[in-house]
Amino acid sequence: MTAIIQREIDALKQLSETAKPSRAPVMLDQQSVGRLSRMDAMQQQSMELATEERRQQRLLALTAALRRIEAGDYGFCLKCDGDIASGRLAVDPAVTLCIDCA
């Protein structure tokens, strides 16, 4: 499971780096871009910033999962301390709650 989690972390970091130019501030030079194009660029930037926020939250969750693996606590519900079904972990390796507590 560690390798799966690490691959997802690496992929998210690569996506974050690749998308960095899309999060750059939008230049408001009226000579180079029309009003609608600037609005489109600002909307695109806003969407990319929101996507990056979700990406960072996922990275935090995956990193926490790696820490739980290292501590020997992985696969146990954080609420009831019961087992989390392996199928549930296969779908989302960062899941922290069993199906009953979710």
Structural domain of residue 21, as residue ranges?
2-74
The whole-angstrom separation of Cα 14 and Cα 96 is 25
The number of distinct structural domains making up the chain is: 1
Residue 83, helix vs strand vs coil: strand
For the chain, give the number of residues: 102
Residue 31: the pLDDT is 56
Task: Answer yes or no: is 9 within a domain.
Answer: yes
Tens-place pLDDT, residues 54-87: 999 999 999 999 999 999 999 999 999 999 999 9
CB 45 within 8 A of CB 26: yes
Q: Which pTM was predicted? A: 0.79
Does residue 24 sit within a domain?
yes
Q: What crossing angle do the helices spanning 35-71 and 2-18 adopt, rounded to 10°?
A: 160
CA distance 91 to 28: 43
pLDDT of residue 43: 86
